Structure 1
Amino acid sequence: MAIYILQKLGYALLTLFGVVTVIFLLFTILPGDPARMMLGQNETAEQLAVVKKKYGFDQPVYVQYLRYLNDLSPVSFHSKNPDDYTFLAEAVPAGRQGKYNATDLFSVGNTTLVLKTPYLRESFQKNGKEVSEVIAETLPNTVILAVSAIVIAIFIGVFLGIISVLFKDGFVDKMIQLVSTLGMSVPSFFSAIIFAWIFGFMLHKYTNLNMTGSLYEVDDFGNGKYIQWKNLILPAIVLGIRPLAVVSQLMRNSLLEVLNQDYIRTAKAKGLSFYQIIKRHALKNSLNPVVTAISGWFASMLAGAVFVEFIFGWNGLGKEIVNALNTLDLPIIMGAVIVIATLFIIINIFVDIIYGWLDPKISRQ
């Protein structure tokens, strides 16, 4: 089992390394000067030179790439020379105005090996605000939205799957399958527009729901922020539509397969009702493929929430990515993609380890 876990961790590190490499090269070779993006339209040649030197934009691509890896790595090398990009002030917990939160390990000559939190650099458009701060402020909202959506998908999807089996090949079953197919095929951004227009605008006086709004809203009378839970309803439903449709279909097919097993026939022969058979025997054994699908969908929702958040005005990481794309704030885009990829990898590793623990045959492959 230990070797299996080490293999998964090794694959995860290679995958993350590939994601970081692709993201860096993609946004480095794009047309445009990062220094000009930071300074705006009224820059001077001297200002451009200072910014390029400070952030290393004047170096070759491979040097910038190695520095980026050094910034992201929790164990990294730093110079004691104040004029060097990797300079880290000694005896200061966070050198360079909070650039690193580091602990010195040992020094060799003019170079120090440190243990630090990964540095995602600074935003181009938010007055030098660190990308990690932006992500820390917005990611919790995205996680809340994703968890709410997956809970909706599980409960409603499992319920619809059971109803489909109860009315197999009947009108109700066919309607549920039709709705599930539509749910899987309709893009989330289109569903978001339709739901916001119908339930947030046309039926607002009945639903009391808003077309846009985030989890926290500012009080009009200066009493600070307060939580507005009703703003979570529409985006959570829209984000949960596609996994709900998948769960419904998987639950139906899995339950039908389980009901054809020998032990179900034995339960019928003992006189158990159809409801008792499903509740006591079939339901639990039918949930395995559903759990598998949900684990993958939860990780995907962190990335899939981008347009849903933007349309509903939900102040999460997805909306922040769209805003960063509009303003060409490359550090935020790169940092957000790397964080989402890391979470995706961690969740999948966790699921693989659970599978390996539940089924030892998997860990031996």
Structure 2
Amino acid sequence: MTIYVLQKLGYALLTLFGVVTIIFILFTILPGDPARMMLGQNETAEQLAVVKKKYGFDQPVSVQYIRYLNDLSPISFHSENPEDYTFLKEGKYTATKLFSIGNTTTVLKFPYLRESFQKNGKEVSEVIVETLPNTFVLAVSAIIIAMVIGVILGILSVLFKDGIIDKMIQLLSTLGMSIPSFFSAIIFAWIFGFLLHEYTNLNMTGSLYEVDDFGNGKYIQWKNLILPAVVLGIRPLAVVSQLMRNSLLEVLDQDYIRTAKAKGLSYYKIITRHALKNSLNPVVTAISGWFASMLAGAVFVEYIFGWNGLGKEIVNALNTLDLPVIMGAVLVIASLFILINIFVDIVYGWLDPKISRQ
């Protein structure tokens, strides 16, 4: 089991290294001169030189790449020469000094995601800390909706197999999987937030926290969570209902179910007491993967509903060419995706030792 865990962690590190490399290439080399993006259209040659020197843009691409890896690494090396690039000389970022050799200091720190181009030098990590919890709340809510309703619809499909209810659920599931989330978001916002606002009391846009009109600070507005969570949960809900239906039908064909039927148990008791638990394994597997992907899939849903999460921040950063925010957000989402999948693999290996020996 220990070797299995180490292998999975090794694969995770290699995958993360590949993700970091791709992100660096896409957002550092291809877009053009980041110093010009930071300063805008009215920059002077002197301003460009100062910015390039401060952020290390005046160095070859290979040197910039090594410095980017060094900034992301928990254990990193920094020059004490005031002429060399290092974020430590600004005095904004806390790091624990381990030891020094010559002019090089080794420090222990959290990964440094650099500073925003458009937020007056605000650190990208602060932007992510402020917005990621809202995205996490949205993703968890969407998963709960998808899990509960999807399982119920899957059971109903089996109870009314090949009937009108089963066919309607299959049709809705197909539509749910095929319609893009951003299109569903527009439709739901228009219908339930505009046309039916008098009955639903739901807003077309709104985030988890709203500012009180009388100056009493922020307060949580839970109703703003309903529409984006439902929209984000539509696609996994459709997948869960299909998986639940197929898995439950497969379990109902097994021998121990026939034995239960022969003993005279009702169809309801057979499903709830015997078949349901064993049918949930593929559903749980799908949900674990969907949760990680929802952090990325929430981008357009958050933007359309005005939900102040990491997805909306990514869209705003793309509109303003705030490359450090884009790079940091994509890297955090990719890291969470990798960690969740590795955690699920390790749990499966612990539950089923045969997997860890393969």
TM over 0.5: yes
Answering whether residue 96 of structure 2 is matched by residue 103 of structure 1, we say yes
Q: Please say if 1:21 is aligned against 2:21.
A: yes
Q: 1:358: which partner in 2?
A: 351
- The one-letter code of the counterpart of 2:166 is D
In 2, the alpha carbon distance for the partners of 1:32 and 1:231 equals 39
1:344 aligns with 2:348: no
- Aligned residue runs from structure 1 range 54-133, under 5 A: 54-86=54-86, 88=88, 96-98=90-92, 100-133=93-126
Give SS of 2:113's match: coil
Matched, 1:251 2:256: no
Q: Deviations over 1:54-103 (max 9, x none)?
A: 00000000000000000000001011112211263xxxxxx5232x3211
Query: What letter corresponds to residue 91 of structure 2 in structure 1?
Result: Q
SS in 2 for 1:285: helix
Structure 1 residues 155-210: Cα deviation after superposition (integer angstroms, max 9, x where no partner) = 00000000000000000000000000000000000000000000000000000000
How far apart are residue 47 of structure 1 and its match?
1.1
CA gap 1:252/1:39 in 2 versus in 1, 3 angstroms: same
Residues 157, 248 of structure 1: 8 Å contact kept? yes
Q: Contact 1:19/1:341 (CA < 8 Å) preserved in 2?
A: yes
Q: Which amino acid aligns with 1:170?
A: G
> Which amino acid is 1:205 matched to?
E
Inter-partner Cα distance in structure 2 for 1:261 and 1:128: 62
2:91 partner SS: helix
Letter in 2 for 1:97: G
Work out the percentage of aligned pairs sharing the same amino acid.
88
Spell out, residue by residue over 1:84-127, the C-alpha distance to the aligned partner (whole angstroms, 9 max, x if none). Answer: 11263xxxxxx5232x3211111111111111110000000000
CA apart distance, 1:40 = 2.1
Q: What is aligned with 1:211? A: 204
d(CA) in 1 for partners of 2:348, 2:294? 21
Show the 5 A alignment for 1:76-225: 76-86=76-86, 88=88, 96-98=90-92, 100-225=93-218
Counterpart amino acid of residue 50 in structure 1: V
Distance in 2 between the 1:186 and 1:101 partners? 46
Gaps of 5+ in 2: none
- Structure 1 outlier segments of 4+, above 3 Å: none
Aligned length: 358
- Helix, strand or coil: the match of 1:105? strand
Structure 2 residue aligned with 1:268, among 261, 271, 275? 261
Paired letter, 1:209: L
**Is 1:35–2:1 an aligned residue pair?**
no
Matching residue of 1:91: none
Amino acid at match of 2:82: P
Residue 10 of structure 1 corresponds to 10
Quickly say closer, same or farther: Cα 1:147–1:269, change in 2 above 3 A. Answer: same
Does structure 1 residue 48 correspond to structure 2 residue 69? no
Structure 1 residues 31, 269: closer, same or farther in 2, change over 3 A? Answer: closer
1:4 is aligned with what amino acid?
A: Y
1:331 is aligned to 324
2 CA distance for matches of 1:282 and 1:250? Answer: 14
What SS does structure 2 have at the residue aligned with 1:57? Answer: coil
Letter in 2 for 1:59: Q
Distance in 1 between residues matched to 2:58 and 2:138, nearest whole Å: 41
The alignment partner of 2:105 has SS state of: strand
| TM-score of the two chains, using structure 2 as the length reference | 0.99
Per-residue CA distance 1:298-343 (angstroms, 9 max, x = gap):
0000000000000000000000000000000000000000000000
